[in-house]
Structure 1
Amino acid sequence: MRTEPTWRIPVGVIGLLLALAVYALVIARYVPELIGGWPALAQTPIYIVLGIAWLLPLRRFLIWMETGRWRG
Protein backbone atom coordinates (compact mmCIF):
# COMPACT_ATOMS: atom_id res chain seq x y z
CA MET A 1 0.00 0.00 0.00
CA ARG A 2 1.12 3.49 -0.80
CA THR A 3 1.60 5.77 2.24
CA GLU A 4 2.32 9.05 0.45
CA PRO A 5 0.15 10.80 -2.13
CA THR A 6 1.33 10.84 -5.71
CA TRP A 7 0.82 13.41 -8.45
CA ARG A 8 -0.33 10.71 -10.88
CA ILE A 9 -3.77 10.27 -9.33
CA PRO A 10 -5.10 13.85 -9.69
CA VAL A 11 -3.41 14.21 -13.08
CA GLY A 12 -4.84 10.86 -14.13
CA VAL A 13 -8.37 11.76 -13.04
CA ILE A 14 -8.22 15.08 -14.89
CA GLY A 15 -6.76 13.36 -17.95
CA LEU A 16 -9.43 10.69 -17.83
CA LEU A 17 -12.21 13.27 -17.63
CA LEU A 18 -10.73 15.25 -20.52
CA ALA A 19 -10.26 12.15 -22.65
CA LEU A 20 -13.82 10.99 -21.98
CA ALA A 21 -15.18 14.44 -22.84
CA VAL A 22 -13.26 14.48 -26.14
CA TYR A 23 -14.39 10.91 -26.91
CA ALA A 24 -18.02 11.77 -26.16
CA LEU A 25 -17.89 14.91 -28.31
CA VAL A 26 -16.36 13.03 -31.23
CA ILE A 27 -18.98 10.28 -30.97
CA ALA A 28 -21.82 12.77 -30.61
CA ARG A 29 -20.56 14.82 -33.56
CA TYR A 30 -19.73 12.18 -36.16
CA VAL A 31 -21.64 8.96 -35.44
CA PRO A 32 -25.17 10.37 -35.88
CA GLU A 33 -24.21 11.60 -39.36
CA LEU A 34 -23.14 8.08 -40.31
CA ILE A 35 -25.94 6.00 -38.79
CA GLY A 36 -28.70 8.56 -38.11
CA GLY A 37 -30.89 7.24 -40.90
CA TRP A 38 -30.71 3.64 -39.75
CA PRO A 39 -33.54 2.03 -37.80
CA ALA A 40 -33.21 2.28 -34.01
CA LEU A 41 -32.60 -1.46 -33.62
CA ALA A 42 -29.66 -1.21 -36.01
CA GLN A 43 -28.21 1.83 -34.20
CA THR A 44 -28.45 0.26 -30.76
CA PRO A 45 -25.55 -2.25 -31.11
CA ILE A 46 -23.30 0.49 -32.52
CA TYR A 47 -23.94 2.76 -29.54
CA ILE A 48 -23.52 -0.14 -27.11
CA VAL A 49 -20.11 -0.98 -28.60
CA LEU A 50 -19.06 2.67 -28.58
CA GLY A 51 -20.27 3.03 -25.00
CA ILE A 52 -18.10 0.11 -23.89
CA ALA A 53 -15.06 0.85 -26.11
CA TRP A 54 -13.69 3.56 -23.83
CA LEU A 55 -13.21 0.93 -21.12
CA LEU A 56 -10.56 -0.97 -23.11
CA PRO A 57 -7.57 1.30 -22.28
CA LEU A 58 -8.86 2.02 -18.76
CA ARG A 59 -7.10 -0.91 -17.02
CA ARG A 60 -3.61 0.14 -18.10
CA PHE A 61 -4.39 3.76 -17.33
CA LEU A 62 -5.47 2.88 -13.78
CA ILE A 63 -2.36 0.75 -13.33
CA TRP A 64 -0.25 3.74 -14.37
CA MET A 65 -2.08 5.97 -11.89
CA GLU A 66 -1.32 3.56 -9.04
CA THR A 67 2.16 2.29 -9.89
CA GLY A 68 3.71 4.60 -12.49
CA ARG A 69 4.14 1.71 -14.93
CA TRP A 70 1.96 0.99 -17.98
CA ARG A 71 2.10 -2.77 -17.61
CA GLY A 72 0.71 -4.71 -14.68
Structure 2
Amino acid sequence: MAARLPIRVRKFMGVFFIVILVILYALMAVGVATAALPNAPWYAHMLYFMFSGFLWVLPAMGIISWMSRE
Protein backbone atom coordinates (compact mmCIF):
# COMPACT_ATOMS: atom_id res chain seq x y z
CA MET A 1 0.00 0.00 0.00
CA ALA A 2 1.36 3.38 -0.98
CA ALA A 3 2.01 6.00 1.66
CA ARG A 4 -0.67 8.69 1.87
CA LEU A 5 0.17 12.33 1.57
CA PRO A 6 -0.15 14.34 4.76
CA ILE A 7 -3.27 16.51 4.90
CA ARG A 8 -1.22 19.72 4.86
CA VAL A 9 0.53 18.69 1.66
CA ARG A 10 -2.77 17.74 0.02
CA LYS A 11 -4.31 21.06 1.00
CA PHE A 12 -1.34 22.98 -0.38
CA MET A 13 -1.49 21.02 -3.64
CA GLY A 14 -5.28 21.43 -3.79
CA VAL A 15 -5.08 25.22 -3.46
CA PHE A 16 -2.45 25.27 -6.21
CA PHE A 17 -4.64 23.10 -8.47
CA ILE A 18 -7.73 25.24 -7.84
CA VAL A 19 -5.85 28.44 -8.71
CA ILE A 20 -4.56 26.87 -11.93
CA LEU A 21 -8.06 25.54 -12.68
CA VAL A 22 -9.66 28.96 -12.27
CA ILE A 23 -7.06 30.71 -14.45
CA LEU A 24 -7.24 28.13 -17.25
CA TYR A 25 -11.02 27.88 -17.06
CA ALA A 26 -11.47 31.65 -17.25
CA LEU A 27 -9.19 31.85 -20.30
CA MET A 28 -11.06 28.99 -21.95
CA ALA A 29 -14.49 30.46 -21.18
CA VAL A 30 -13.56 33.85 -22.61
CA GLY A 31 -11.99 32.20 -25.66
CA VAL A 32 -15.13 30.20 -26.35
CA ALA A 33 -17.30 33.29 -25.85
CA THR A 34 -15.28 35.41 -28.27
CA ALA A 35 -15.29 32.62 -30.88
CA ALA A 36 -18.93 31.54 -30.53
CA LEU A 37 -20.79 34.68 -29.48
CA PRO A 38 -19.30 37.66 -31.34
CA ASN A 39 -22.63 38.94 -32.72
CA ALA A 40 -24.99 37.42 -30.17
CA PRO A 41 -27.42 39.59 -28.23
CA TRP A 42 -26.58 40.74 -24.71
CA TYR A 43 -28.80 38.15 -23.04
CA ALA A 44 -26.96 35.30 -24.79
CA HIS A 45 -23.70 36.62 -23.36
CA MET A 46 -25.30 36.94 -19.93
CA LEU A 47 -26.65 33.38 -20.00
CA TYR A 48 -23.36 31.97 -21.27
CA PHE A 49 -21.29 33.68 -18.59
CA MET A 50 -23.78 32.75 -15.86
CA PHE A 51 -23.61 29.10 -16.92
CA SER A 52 -19.86 29.02 -17.41
CA GLY A 53 -19.34 31.00 -14.21
CA PHE A 54 -20.95 28.22 -12.19
CA LEU A 55 -19.56 25.29 -14.19
CA TRP A 56 -16.00 25.53 -12.80
CA VAL A 57 -17.38 24.55 -9.39
CA LEU A 58 -17.77 20.89 -10.46
CA PRO A 59 -14.05 20.13 -10.90
CA ALA A 60 -13.24 22.33 -7.90
CA MET A 61 -15.57 20.19 -5.76
CA GLY A 62 -13.58 17.12 -6.78
CA ILE A 63 -10.32 18.78 -5.78
CA ILE A 64 -11.77 19.93 -2.46
CA SER A 65 -13.11 16.44 -1.80
CA TRP A 66 -9.64 15.00 -2.46
CA MET A 67 -8.06 17.61 -0.19
CA SER A 68 -10.30 16.82 2.77
CA ARG A 69 -10.03 13.01 2.63
CA GLU A 70 -8.48 11.28 5.62
Identify the TM-score tier after normalising by the shorter chain: 0.7 to 0.9
Identity of counterpart residues, as a percentage? Answer: 22
> Judging changes above 3 Å, is the alpha-carbon distance between structure 1 residues 16 and 51 closer, same or farther for their aligned structure 2 residues?
same
Counterpart residue number, 1:48: 50
Higher helix share: 2
User: Unaligned 5+ residue runs, structure 1?
Assistant: none
> Whole-Å Cα distance in 2 between the matches of residues 8 and 64 of structure 1?
8
Counterpart residue number, 2:10: 8
Equivalent residue pairs, number: 65
> Whole-Å Cα distance in 2 between the matches of residues 46 and 31 of structure 1?
8
Q: 2:57 is paired with a residue of what secondary structure?
A: coil
Q: CA RMSD in A?
A: 1.7
| Residue correspondence of structure 1 range 4-43 to structure 2 within 5 A | 5-43=7-45
Normalised by the size of structure 2, how large is the TM-score?
0.79
> Judging changes above 3 Å, is the alpha-carbon distance between structure 1 residues 5 and 58 closer, same or farther for their aligned structure 2 residues?
closer
> Whole-Å Cα distance in 1 between the matches of residues 27 and 20 of structure 2?
11
Counterpart residue number, 1:59: 61
- Asked if the contact 2:11/2:68 (under 8 Å) is kept, the reply is yes
More RCO (CA 8 Å, sep 6+): 2
> Whole-Å Cα distance in 1 between the matches of residues 24 and 60 of structure 2?
15
1:28-51 deviation line (CA, Å, top 9, x unaligned): 223212112101012211110000
Which runs of structure 1 show a deviation greater than 3 angstroms over 4 or more consecutive aligned residues?
none
